[in-house]
Amino acid sequence: MSLFLLLEEENKIIKEFSLLKTWEDKYEYLIFLSKKIPKMDKKYKNKNTLIKGCQSKTWIHAYINKKKIIYKADSEANIPKGIIFLLIRIYSNRLPKEIIFYKENFIKKIGLINFISFNRVNGIYYILKKIKEYALLYK
C-alpha cells in the first residue's frame, strides 16, 4: 500500500494553495481547475451517482481498472467542480485500501473550509463519504 503517493499529491495541492493569498485568488484557482476536469459521460449522471446534500447538482461515479479505483465526477457549478478536481487528484487511480485508510488533511490545510460556504463544506464531506463508500464496495 502506498499512502506515500497520496500524501505526496496532498502536499502538492497544499503548496499550490499556499501561493494564493486571498480568498478571491483561491476562488479563481478553483474555477481554473474546474475547466480541467474530464467530461463525465451523461449516462453516469443519474440518481445513483448524484451526491445528496450538495448545494449544486454533483455526480460521482467509480469503477475498477487493474485493481485501482477510477473516479469520474461532475457538477453544474464551477466551484464544486474545482473542488472535485482536487479530490479526484487525491483519490483516483488508487487501491481501495489506500482510499479507506487515507485521512485527508489538505481540505483544512489549504483553508478551503474558511472561504467557501457552510453548504459547500458539507457538500465536500458528502462527496468524501461517497468516495469512501466506493472504496469499501470495491475492496
CATH value at residue 109: 3.90.1010.10
- Which one is predicted more confidently, 45 or 5? 45
pLDDT tens string 122-136: 888 999 999 999 999
Is residue 99's pLDDT more than 90?
A: yes
Is residue 93's pLDDT more than 60?
A: yes
If one counts the domains in the chain, the total is 1
Alpha-carbon distance of 41 to 115, in angstroms, equals 31
Model pLDDT, residue 107 = 85
Structural domain harbouring 79: 3-138
Model pLDDT, residue 3 = 72
CA atoms within 13 A on the CB side of 95: 8
- Which one is predicted more confidently, 106 or 78? 78
Model pLDDT, residue 67 = 95
Taking the CA atoms of residue 105, residue 110, residue 113 and residue 114 in that order, the dihedral angle to the nearest 10 degrees is 140
Model pLDDT, residue 122 = 87
Q: Which residue has the cell 487525491?
A: 90
Residue type, position 119, single letter: N
Q: Kindly state the average pLDDT of the residues 46-51.
A: 95
This prediction has a pTM of 0.91
Exactly one of 54, 60, 83, 107 is catalytic; which is it? Answer: 54
* H or E element in which residue 80 lies: helix 78-91
Is 54 one of the annotated active-site residues of the chain? yes
Model pLDDT, residue 128 = 93
The confidence band for 110, taking pLDDT boundaries of 50, 70 and 90, is: confident
Model pLDDT, residue 55 = 85
- Which one is predicted more confidently, 98 or 4? 98
Which residue intervals of the chain are DSSP H helices?
Answer: 3-18, 23-34, 78-91, 96-101, 106-109, 112-115, 118-138
